[in-house]
A = this chain, B = another copy of it.
Amino acid sequence: MARAGLTTERLTEAGAALSDEIGFERATLSELARRFDVKVASLYSHVRSSEDLRIRVALLALEEMADRGDTALAGRAGKDALIALGNVYRDYAREHPGRYDAAQMRLDPQTAASSAGPRHSQMMRAILRGYDLTEADQTHAVRLLGSVFNGYVGLERSGGFSHSTPDSQQSWDRILDSLDTLLKGWPAP
């Protein structure tokens, strides 16, 4: 019997593609096996469980977004950098909805710590160096940025404000603009 040439990486990549195509929820091991024309049990040589694969897809998505973030931030600072990073998340979610959903998974602390998660915090901190904040305020601001980026993209994806005026793009621009203003004049406690 011909071998399909499965590897953990290939399965993860295919799982990610499948998630984008039919949704993270519907991307099952069974469906994956069907696509590779292989029996489900065969996948267990490369992946510990269904959950294991989903975590791998989540980690892949986090890495990909971090990579895009690095690229986007190169040579930018201040408001430019802020906008660039925000767009990384928003664009990624549009292009890869399944992967983006995967990235929202709650990872256990161990896994989260060794994921690209910390890279995301680092990128936000890098942006904040363009503003004048104390160490503690930088942390608060990182959390604010994370909340706004994740929150906005999430609401946009759940259709919260499609087909209503003003359109989503305008709000997005306006929100990034006001975040910049806020960071420039970050209020004293």
- Which residues of A are in contact with B by a Cβ distance under 8 Å? 104, 106-107, 109, 112, 117, 136-137, 139-140, 143-144, 146-152, 154-155, 157-161, 164-166, 168, 170-171, 174-175, 177-178, 181-182, 185-187, 189
How far apart are the CA atoms of A148 and B157 in the complex, in Å? Answer: 15
Q: How many chain copies?
A: 2
Q: Which of B140, B143, B170 contacts A140 (CB 8 A)?
A: B170
A148 to chain B minimum Cβ distance, whole angstroms, is 5
How far apart are the CA atoms of A150 and B97 in the complex, in Å? Answer: 18
A148 touches B155 (CB 8 A): no
| B residues in contact with A117, CB < 8 Å | 160
Q: Which of B143, B144, B178, B185 contacts A186 (CB 8 A)?
A: B178
| B residues in contact with A107, CB < 8 Å | 158
B159 touches A143 (CB 8 A): no
B178 touches A181 (CB 8 A): no
How far apart are the CA atoms of A150 and B161 in the complex, in Å? Answer: 14
